[in-house]
């Protein structure tokens, strides 16, 4: 059994890998900092076989890097059983990536879209595979205007993040609709309000608010529980395309259930990554 995960170098991702390590033969750690990945393996996984953990450079804010990451995995295995799209973040400034796309949109959604689509043959080869997308309850504040999604002149950090987390849910549902008959199942989830490095790029009032909220937050191991539950539970017991909280199906927003919006997002995403497919 093979696993690939983005964002394994901090917070929820670290704890997810720790909880799942013994269940998989090969674990691909998709990271933007190879140095962090080397330290992670040395700190927690030195007792495992050397070949079990494979570090794959992958900056989700760079579509060429994402495409190469998928190719590197394809070079090493024929099948992938679980893909966890966990990396993400909220950013204080409106910035364009090297691909000239708004970074919150690209890092939380579009990079994962490209990664997943490129890994689709491996997921199909697994016979039964899961794609787990780490979303957030923040999606409930989303008011997406797809035509303006890369317009940073109107950027505001929380709305951009809320939209991106809505896209994680829409993407899960679309994947499930389009590929469940090929054995690819997909789930999205809210991990809880978790004490991690989330929001670490902020200064000022937002940073103070995060600090004040920290005593009420759950720890990263608790925050990883729903992801670990979805990765470990038989697909027959899970509703594909559903949104989960506290390891149970939960109702996302009305917007998250829109078939029109999820198809529009799919078409837009496909168009933005077409040169890599």
Ligand X SMILES: NC(=O)c1ccc[n+]([C@@H]2O[C@H](COP(=O)([O-])OP(=O)(O)OC[C@H]3O[C@@H](n4cnc5c(N)ncnc54)[C@H](OP(=O)(O)O)[C@@H]3O)[C@@H](O)[C@H]2O)c1
193 lies in the site for ligand X, by CB under 6 A = yes
Question: Scanning residues 50 to 79, which ones bind ligand X (CB under 6 A)?
Answer: 58-61
Query: Whose structure tokens read 């900092």?
Result: 33
- Among the listed residues 155, 161, 179, 185, the single catalytic one is 161
Give whichever of 87 and 272 is closer to ligand X, judged by the CB atom: 87
241 lies in the site for ligand X, by CB under 6 A = no
User: Known catalytic residue: 276?
Assistant: no
Which of 113, 167, 198, 229 is in the footprint of ligand X by CB under 6 A? 198
Question: Scanning residues 97 to 136, which ones bind ligand X (CB under 6 A)?
Answer: 107, 134, 136
Asked if residues 15 and 220 have their Cβ atoms less than 8 Å apart, the reply is yes
Which residues on adjacent β-strands are paired with residue 188?
133, 243
Binding-site residue total for ligand X (CB under 6 A)?
29
Which of 67, 150, 172, 196 is in the footprint of ligand X by CB under 6 A? 196
Q: Residues of 216-238 as b/e, b for ≥16 C-beta within 10 angstroms? A: ebeebebbbbbbbbbbeeebeeb
**Residue whose C-alpha is closest to residue 82's, from 138, 8, 132:** 132
- Residue 167, number of CB atoms within 10 A of its CB: 31
**Residue whose C-alpha is closest to residue 149's, from 175, 110, 114:** 110
Of 118-126, 171-179, 197-205, 259-267: span binding ligand X (CB under 6 A): 197-205
N-terminal to C-terminal alpha carbon distance within the chain? 26
Instruction: Find the shortest distance in angstroms from Cβ 273 to ligand X.
Output: 15
Enumerate binding residues for ligand X (CB under 6 A): 6-7, 9-13, 32-33, 36, 58-61, 86-89, 107, 134, 136, 190-191, 193-194, 196-198, 200
Query: Which residues are known catalytic residues?
Result: 161
């Amino acid at each position: 059994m093979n696993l690939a995960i983005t964002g394994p170098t901090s917070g929820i991702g670290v704890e997810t890998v720790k909880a799942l390590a013994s269940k998989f033969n090969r674990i691909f750690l998709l990271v933007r900092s190879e140095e962090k990945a080397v330290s992670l393996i040395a700190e927690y996984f030195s007792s495992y076989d050397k070949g079990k953990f494979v570090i794959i450079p992958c900056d989700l804010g760079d579509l060429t890097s994402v495409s190469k990451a998928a190719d590197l995995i394809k070079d090493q295995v024929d099948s992938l059983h679980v893909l966890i799209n966990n990396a993400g973040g909220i950013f204080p400034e409106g910035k364009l990536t090297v691909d000239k796309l708004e970074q919150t949109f690209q890092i939380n959604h579009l990079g994962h879209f490209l990664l997943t689509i490129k890994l689709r043959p491996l997921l199909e080869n697994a016979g039964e595979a899961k794609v787990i997308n780490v979303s957030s309850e923040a999606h409930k504040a989303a008011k997406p205007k797809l035509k303006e999604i890369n317009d940073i002149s109107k950027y505001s950090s929380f709305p951009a993040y809320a939209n991106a987390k809505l896209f994680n849910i829409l993407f899960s549902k679309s994947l499930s609709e389009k590929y469940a008959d090929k054995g690819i199942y997909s789930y999205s989830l809210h991990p809880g309000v978790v004490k991690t490095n989330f929001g670490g790029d902020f200064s000022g009032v937002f940073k103070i608010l995060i600090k004040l909220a920290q005593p009420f937050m759950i720890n990263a191991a608790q925050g990883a529980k729903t992801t670990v539950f979805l990765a470990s539970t038989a697909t027959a017991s899970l509703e594909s395309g559903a949104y989960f909280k506290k390891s149970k199906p939960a109702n996302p927003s009305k917007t998250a259930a829109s078939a029109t919006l999820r198809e529009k997002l799919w078409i837009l995403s496909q168009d933005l990554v077409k040169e890599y497919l």
